[in-house]
Amino acid sequence: MEMLAKMNKQQLEEKLGSGQYVLFFTADWCPDCRFIKPAMPEIEADFADYTFIQVDRDENIDLCQELMVMGIPSFIVYQDGKEVSRFVNKDRKTKAEVEDFLVAAK
């Protein structure tokens, strides 16, 4: 999974301008993020039509504020530079919940 460099919302939308992406917002210190991380390779494999990008909340705090991502772990789906769906809250997320979200986002 690619790690997102530090950037703002405009730069992000340009980067994601073509294709389907899932942004995975996380932080090393977050226990709920550590809970879902082991399932991420399998989720990526199950949804291979998406490019998954990990966003370090601490590295990209300004971007998170611009995107109104106040809780982690969280997920935002982009298609051709535009947000199409989000699973953003501060709750622990299971593999099944993330996969259900991604199925619904299609």
Nearest to 51 by CA among 105, 101, 1, 3: 1
Q: Which long-range contacts (CB under 8 A, 24 or more apart) does 32-36 make?
A: 32/72, 32/73, 32/90, 32/91, 32/92, 32/93, 33/72, 33/73, 35/92, 35/93, 36/73, 36/92, 36/93, 36/94, 36/95, 36/98
Confidence class for position 51, pLDDT limits 50, 70, 90: very high
- Residue 38 DSSP label: G
Kindly list the structural domains of the chain, giving each domain's residue range(s) and its CATH number in brackets, ordered by start: 2-105 (3.40.30.10)
Indicate which residue of 4, 22, 23, 30 is catalytic: 30
pLDDT at 87: 96
Indicate which residue of 33, 53, 63, 69 is catalytic: 33
Tens digits of residue pLDDT in 21-30: 999 999 999 9
pLDDT at 14: 93
- Residue 1 DSSP label: -
pTM: 0.94
Q: Is 64 a residue of the active site? A: no
